[in-house]
Amino acid sequence: MKMPTKKTKKKLLYIFVGFVLFLIIIDYIALPLYVSGREMKVPNVIGKQKDEAIKILDDAGFNPIVATSRYDQKYKKDYVVFQKPVPNTVVKEHRRIYLTISGGESLIKMPQLIGKTLRDAQVTLERSGFILGKIDSVESEFQPNTIVEQQYLEGRELASGTNVNIKVSIGPQVGMIRVPNILGKSLTDAMNILRANSLRVGAKTYIHSPSLLPNTVVDQQPGENALLKLGDSVNVVLTQSKISDIK
């Protein structure tokens, strides 16, 4: 058998080294260039509607991903408020572009205003992010300068900066009087208290009570702070010590 000559061995070595260099070039240079693709600028889709932004990025050869959502007063709901990478960044083709979508304006629960003074109501609204709107004055059984009605019920969710109209009491109408508390008073004392407020005792009902003195007021109708016209009557429930004394 003929042994390979020194010249042949040298040629084979050159072929082997050339093949190794070819593989290195393919693996480390040509293949990465082929896989990475061309470089492109990222389009600006901030302020675009979500579906429109996704189509723009798709058509440009990128991979749009809706990553997060957040409340934003500047942009309407479902509009892009942020993107990463940012616009005009040069990246490889098919790069993922992460989008942050607006969830609209942050909603705030309406606080309770009824029963508060006008000043307290205004402070409460401002702290909650609302604006005091129109103020109407109305006659009511509430004390003057007290909120008796609010435009939106407590707990309703509204956008920050919403105007809230209210109605403020100027007190009861002329000729009306608040009923005083006469519970626990004797009938005589109750009559004197009512008389001092231009009211009178109306119907009297009796119940048996072994623990209370006779003619003690244990109930009244209307109750304390109800509004009556001057001269109206308040019905009372009185005690008697013996059942046989009940009339």
For 145-178, how does the pLDDT look when each residue is reduced to its tens digit (9 = 90+)?
999 999 999 999 888 889 999 999 987 777 788 8
Cis peptide before 144 (omega within 30 of 0): no
pLDDT band at 230 (very low <50, low <70, confident <90, very high): confident
Is the confidence at residue 135, as pLDDT, over 90? Answer: yes
Q: How many CA atoms lie within 13 A of 139 on its CB side?
A: 7
Strand partners of residue 66? 99
Lowest pLDDT segment from 1-5, 79-83, 128-132 = 1-5
C-alpha to C-alpha distances, 200 to 64, 155, 168, 206, nearest whole angstrom: 80, 42, 31, 18
Q: What percent of the chain has pLDDT over 90?
A: 57
pLDDT band at 77 (very low <50, low <70, confident <90, very high): confident
Considering the entire predicted model, what is its pTM? 0.41
Is the confidence at residue 246, as pLDDT, over 50? Answer: no
Is the confidence at residue 49, as pLDDT, over 50? Answer: yes
| Of 91, 106, 109, 3, residue with least CA distance to 39 | 91
Mean pLDDT to the nearest integer, 65-70: 88
Q: What percent of the chain has pLDDT over 70?
A: 86
pLDDT band at 243 (very low <50, low <70, confident <90, very high): low
pLDDT band at 225 (very low <50, low <70, confident <90, very high): confident
Per DSSP, the three-state class of 205 is strand
Query: Rounded CA gap, 81 and 99, in Å?
Result: 8
Per-residue pLDDT, 28: 59
pLDDT band at 228 (very low <50, low <70, confident <90, very high): confident
Per DSSP, the three-state class of 228 is strand
Per-residue pLDDT, 247: 47
Domains and CATH numbers, the chain: 39-102 (3.30.10.20), 107-169 (3.30.10.20), 176-245 (3.30.10.20)
pLDDT band at 96 (very low <50, low <70, confident <90, very high): very high
For 190-216, how does the pLDDT look when each residue is reduced to its tens digit (9 = 90+)?
999 999 889 999 999 999 988 899 999
Is the confidence at residue 244, as pLDDT, over 90? Answer: no
Is the confidence at residue 1, as pLDDT, over 70? Answer: no
